[in-house]
Amino acid sequence: MRQRLVGRFFAASLVVLVALLITPGTAAAEEGLYKARTGPYSVDIVDREWNDGARNRAVPARLFIPRAPAGQTFPVVAFSHGLWANRASYGYFARHLASHGYVVILPQHIGSDGGAILCLTCDLGLATDWLLENPVRGGLIELPLKKLLQSSIEDPDNLVNRPLDISFAIDQIATDPALSRVADAGRVGVAGHSFGAHTAMASGGMRVDLPESRGGPAQSFRDPRVGATFAMSAQGPGTMGISDGAWSDFGTPAMFLTGTHDYGPAAGPWRRTPFDQIRGFDRFLLTLKGAGHATFARKSDMATSTDERPSGETGLGFPNPLRDRADLIKSMGVAFFDTYLKQDPSSRAWLNEYFANPHPDAVGESRSD
């Protein structure tokens, strides 16, 4: 134990030194980006314990609300968290959007949230922190984790309830007192990461194959109130009820973010499939060089942490070498929603210029066919 503590202290000291050496690069990374710095609005954070009576389902949520004079309203972004995360996750992205004039709603998806991983750790007699901080290799740990992950993302209840949670959250704009005074129900977007990307795409019009008992193939969860879809680490066909052509009826402009190390169950350009198959709407694909699946989240997102560390830090507080990607991710989110929810010509001009030019840290593609 003593050796472990000494080792961690040494590692932490070394990482802090490295962080100090690379800090100037963070400011440089903001240059040329769109609204990468915190916006003009202070942000209030409100937790809700909603219940959907029609489904007899709890829908906890965290709201990020810009503080503004009475009478001012803002567009809404409903954000869907990844597997084993919760409403406290992705605060770096939600707070940034809110600071630039968006009401952000983060519903917690019961059944694929942090409670699922806690159930596994209880069965194994392990502490959640230990499970998430140690390499998962072989034997007792690897098999249950893979089994739980696969069963969670293929569970028809999760595939159905997640987009319904998003629609229910949008419903609350009219009735929740914290939302009804500031949220504009006529300007709504969705966003998400990993399993949350699947949820966001379903809300935007991606069809999902389900067992006959749950409606059968090609089920639509399209919410017509959704006007823009922002998906990080989106899935391609062959998993989670997605078939080739699932995006044939997709109904919104979309932006997809992935990374060269954002691996999935299929090799090659699997994560770009939604971008390639959507037709009739503007769409963007940004591939971050060197970025992996967790670049868009945090290690602590996989558990039940309520902190709001930047996306580029691990659950131990050690800086990630890709920390400056958070600025690019936040910038893309604001630029995309400014363009399609606020109809801002300056954001559209920035997107057009960014995606028309080469960049050392990312490859951008856009289509409008």
- pLDDT band at 27; cut points 50, 70, 90: very low
| Whole-number percent of the chain with pLDDT over 70 | 75
- The 3 state secondary structure assigned to the chain is CHHHHHHHHHHHHHHHHHHHHHHHHHHHHHCCCCCCCCCCCCEEEEEEEEEECCCCEEEEEEEEEECCCCCCCEEEEEEECCCCECCCCCHHHHHHHHHCCCEEEEECCCCCEHHHHHHHHHHHCCCHHHHHHCCCCCHHHHHHHHHHHHHHHHCHHHHHHHHHHHHHHHHHHHCCHHHHCCEEEEEEEEEEECHHHHHHHHHHCCCECCCHHHCCCCECCCCCCEEEEEEECCCCCCCCCCCCCCCCCCCCCEEEEEEEECCCCCCCCHHHHHHHHCCCCCEEEEEEEEEEHHHHCCHHHHCCCCCCCCCCECCCCCECCCCCHHHHHHHHHHHHHHHHCCCCHHHHHHHHHHHCCCCCCEEEEEECC
Query: pLDDT tens-digit profile of 348-357?
Result: 999 999 999 9
pLDDT at residue 119, as a whole number: 57
- pLDDT band at 305; cut points 50, 70, 90: very low
pLDDT at residue 217, as a whole number: 96
pLDDT at residue 304, as a whole number: 34
Query: pLDDT tens-digit profile of 273-291?
Result: 999 999 999 999 999 999 9
Averaged confidence pLDDT in the chain: 82
Q: Give the residue with greater pLDDT, 123 vs 109.
A: 109
What domains can be seen in the chain, in order of their start residue?
32-367 (3.40.50.1820)
Q: Is the pLDDT of residue 212 over 50?
A: yes
Query: pLDDT tens-digit profile of 135-191?
Result: 444 444 455 667 777 888 999 999 999 999 999 999 999 999 999 999 999 999 999
Q: Is the pLDDT of residue 132 over 50?
A: no
pLDDT at residue 138, as a whole number: 42
365: which strand partners? 285
pLDDT at residue 114, as a whole number: 81
Contact partners, residue 346, CB within 8 Å, separation at least 6? 338
Q: Is the pLDDT of residue 50 over 60?
A: yes
Measure the CA dihedral 230/231/232/238, to 10°. Answer: -170
- pLDDT band at 115; cut points 50, 70, 90: confident
Query: pLDDT tens-digit profile of 231-275?
Result: 999 999 999 999 999 999 999 999 999 999 998 876 568 999 999
pLDDT at residue 148, as a whole number: 74
